[in-house]
Amino acid sequence: MSAALAKGIKNKTIPCRFIAVTCHYDIVEWLTPDWTLDLSTGKVERRLLRRPPIELQIFKCDRSLWKSFSRHHYLNSDKLSTCSQCYAAVLDGIPVSFVSVMPNAGHFGRRRISRIVTLPDYQGIGIGKRLLNFVADLYKQQGLRTSIGTSHPAMVQSLRVDKSWVLTSIGDSHHNKGTTPKTMALRNSIRIGRKVACFEFVGCP
């Protein structure tokens, strides 16, 4: 939350001057304030801080781990295809982000991201994106192409500015006129009128 708040203020998404009063020293590096006043010492400092480093471990995992993440996904479904290959990012021994990948039906040599979820307490600091890029690059090294379709505004924006991904198509979800189970599920799971953007991983330029 501290990192997201700091980002919003610095890029003027939250247009205000902000003063935080807290007894928790551990959030200071995440807030990256311009100035700090320590009331226990009376010391005022100009602080040019960087966020603490985040060290992740990424593992291929069993589909059963999805149960820990499913309620945080917009589909809110415990079901995961048996064709899925799953990966988890672990921080301090806790699985905090999950990605599943499936074959892209009808397209040889292609894979698509079917699920990506980061636990709410760990969102906004780039963990999900790091896991996504790691997995996509892993498949690229195997000669496979990876794509993702999303209507989440933050994810769309993040992928659009990431040179490792290229936008391949964008449109309104209600423009899907097909009646197949897959397109019906898409229409039912994405809010009508929201843009659905599709990206393909190309790797670092």
Q: pLDDT (tens digit, 9 = 90+) per residue, 16-34?
A: 888 889 888 888 888 888 8
Half-sphere exposure of 106 (CA within 13 A, CB side): 0
Mean pLDDT of 33-56: 85
Task: Report yes or no on 14 lying in a domain.
Answer: yes
Write down the pLDDT at residue 40: 87
Total domains in the chain come to: 2
Cα 187 from Cα 194, distance rounded (Å)? 10
Same domain, yes or no: 115 and 30? no
- Tell which wins on pLDDT, 133 or 81: 133
Cα 168 from Cα 14, distance rounded (Å)? 31
Same domain, yes or no: 30 and 61? no
* Lookup result for tokens 């897959």: 182
Same domain, yes or no: 65 and 34? no
Strand pairing category for 85-91 and 94-103: antiparallel
Q: The domain containing residue 7 runs over which residues? A: 2-46
Q: How confident is the model at residue 193 (pLDDT cuts 50, 70, 90)?
A: low
Cβ–Cβ under 8 Å, residues 128 and 159? no
Please enumerate in sequence order all residues whose Cβ is within 8 A of that of 139, keeping only pairs 6 or more positions apart, or say none.
101, 111, 145, 146, 201
Query: Quick check: 167 pLDDT over 90?
Result: yes
Write down the pLDDT at residue 8: 83
Same domain, yes or no: 7 and 79? no
Strand pairing category for 145-150 and 110-118: parallel
Cα 22 from Cα 27, distance rounded (Å)? 9
Write down the pLDDT at residue 191: 42
Mean pLDDT of the chain: 84
**Any idea how long the chain is?**
205
What phi and psi, each to the nearest 5 degrees, are found at residue 71? -70, -15
Q: How confident is the model at residue 182 (pLDDT cuts 50, 70, 90)?
A: very low
Cα 70 from Cα 73, distance rounded (Å)? 5
Same domain, yes or no: 15 and 87? no
Write down the pLDDT at residue 185: 43
Same domain, yes or no: 162 and 95? yes
